[in-house]
Amino acid sequence: MNVLFYRRFNLIWSTLHSVREILLTLLARLDVESDEIDNTGLVVTEYLTNLIRHSEGEDEAVTLVIGRTLNNITIELVDPTSYFHPTLSQQNNTDLSDGELREGGMGLALIAHYFPDFKYFSNAGKNHFSFTLALKKIKNRIVIIDDDKASLQLINAYLTSDYECHAFDDEHQAYQYLIGHNVDLLVIDMNLNVMLADEFLSNIKQLEHLNSIGIIVISGDGSRETMLKAHLCGVDDYLVKPVSKQQLELVCERVKSRCDTRTLQRKVSAQETQIATYACDELLLSAYGNIASGGGGDVILHHAMEKNTFVFFADVMGHGEKAQRVALELRGFVKGLLTSPYNDFTAFVNTLARTLVKQAFMQQTLVTFIALEITQREISFINAGHPIPLCMSSQQDAIQVGSVQPLLGLSSNYQYHKEHIILDEGDSLVMATDGLFENHENCNALTELIKVINASKTTLNCDSSALWSKCLPRLSKEIDDSSLLVLN
């Protein structure tokens, strides 16, 4: 699961408004139906209202986690109140539709009505309540090439419900389409009008943007020699006609999964060795992951000035090409503002925040960021919705630094304020995007990052790449949106 948002809130009445605003803002910018957004607001309000009523004071907190998979958005609330098990209540003949409020924050009738497949369980003294919202289905793109029009129409009919299909009976037209589009799978007949599939595929292999495409050959020739020839061309699977719908669907799914694994391994291999470094007065900033390799939606901007250094570290919601486009525009916008030197760091960040939310490229996304001003070893910073930075010294374990201020655009009147930290000799300030540990079962990047830092602290000060290498095994499939910064 790709974690889009993670934050703790005190169990006080103002939290109701904050959480609702975050949900409405975020879900409105995703492919979620408006009715589902309204239902989410009702259910979360009901749940939180009961949590606050049953809490033991402002020191208790609830954690909101918003995650995304390919076809769903997951909303999860984690709280420490008294556990109430719905099935236990049913066993005791409690009427769950009587409208009564339940201990543990469960307004069961309302929740079960809108999200009957909700999950609620207790683990390590915390209650986990979650439900899913369906997204509009995103179809993988597939190109089908067969000079037999009847066979072409049949294969297209088999796959069109699950894939965005583009069918061609002419290989030259198909090649022109492939040149200009990203395609996930290619289904091709072995014997084409003008050339054999092996000649066509050798041309496809030259197209860099298709280096992860899955290739399936379908042919009436089932001889061992022909199948071996196809596999030597880099084909992922080979089917002999006639082919059933179930057989073709299974092979397409298997090949797509295999291609995803190859892509992930390629990205891991690239990111293991990529590092970007920036001089920041007396400190060195080391960047790993997405911001070093240049893909996806993480942003870093380093700007040296006469008396100090400005660093902007941001995370654009989502991943892939769309997030990368927004990231490039975001970086260019901030860089443009920095062409005129500023006199006051806080005033500059507030100006940046007010103008940024009005830009066209920001209307379909959310951005979290940390802005830093570094003077020798003193750091002023403003954190707008980003995971909390961690400070580590050789004398103590990693500790949280500063607080999290609201996301951009949630409050037009909010004034960001700066916080300070001085890094002593040997200290390190560690910052990460929330994708770094998004597949952790508790979705708690902070806890996991502290564990890794503490395990690495004997070597971190001399080689921060040791920390990044320890993070890599925990990366999920959204590796292109995982970044780490170490300032020491």
- 244-254: per-residue pLDDT in tens? 999 999 999 88
Q: Tokens for 170?
A: 């002419």
Average pLDDT over all residues of the chain? 77
Find tokens 């958005």 and name the residue: 73
Task: Give the Cβ contact number of residue 353 at 10 Å.
Answer: 23
Give the model's pLDDT for residue 168. 93
Q: pLDDT tier at 60 (50, 70, 90 boundaries)?
A: confident
Q: pLDDT tier at 157 (50, 70, 90 boundaries)?
A: very high
Indicate whether 144 pLDDT > 80. Answer: yes
Residues 6+ apart with CB under 8 A from 414: 405, 406
Give the predicted TM-score (pTM) of the model. 0.50
- Percent of residues, the chain, with pLDDT higher than 70: 75
**Which segments of 278-396 does DSSP mark as H helices, in order?**
290-293, 320-337, 345-356
Q: pLDDT tier at 453 (50, 70, 90 boundaries)?
A: low
**Start-to-end CA span in the chain (Å):** 31
Q: pLDDT tier at 480 (50, 70, 90 boundaries)?
A: very low
Asked if 409 and 373 count as a contact pair (C-beta separation under 8 A), the reply is no
- 199-216: per-residue pLDDT in tens? 788 888 888 788 888 999
Long-range contacts of 153-156 (CB under 8 A, 24+ apart): 155/187, 155/218, 155/243, 155/248
Q: pLDDT tier at 314 (50, 70, 90 boundaries)?
A: confident
List the domain boundaries for the chain.
Answer: 2-134, 140-269, 274-487
Give the model's pLDDT for residue 294. 65
Q: How far apart are CA 292 and CA 273, in angstroms?
A: 10
Indicate whether 463 pLDDT > 60. Answer: no
Indicate whether 475 pLDDT > 70. Answer: no
- DSSP annotation of 106 reads B
Mean pLDDT of 404-428: 82
Same fold, 2-134 and 274-487: no
Give the model's pLDDT for residue 97. 45
If one compares 89 and 365, the residue with the highest pLDDT of the two is 365
**What superfamily does domain 274-487 belong to in CATH?**
PPM-type phosphatase domain (3.60.40.10)
Find tokens 């925990």 and name the residue: 474
Give the model's pLDDT for residue 102. 45
Give the model's pLDDT for residue 407. 78
Give the model's pLDDT for residue 194. 54
Give the model's pLDDT for residue 166. 95
Q: Which residues pair with 431 in a beta bridge?
A: 485
For 2-134, the fitting CATH number among 3.30.565.10, 3.30.160.60, 3.40.50.10190, 3.40.50.11540 is 3.30.565.10
- 340-389: per-residue pLDDT in tens? 778 899 999 998 888 888 888 887 777 888 999 999 889 999 998 887 88
Give the model's pLDDT for residue 106. 46
Q: Which residues pair with 5 in a beta bridge?
A: 66
Strand order across the 237-240 sheet: 163-168, 140-145, 185-189, 214-219, 237-240
In the CATH hierarchy, which fold is given to the domain comprising 140-269?
Rossmann fold (3.40.50)
Please name which of 58, 136, 7 lies closest in space to residue 410, comparing C-alpha atoms: 7
Q: Tokens for 186?
A: 């290619």
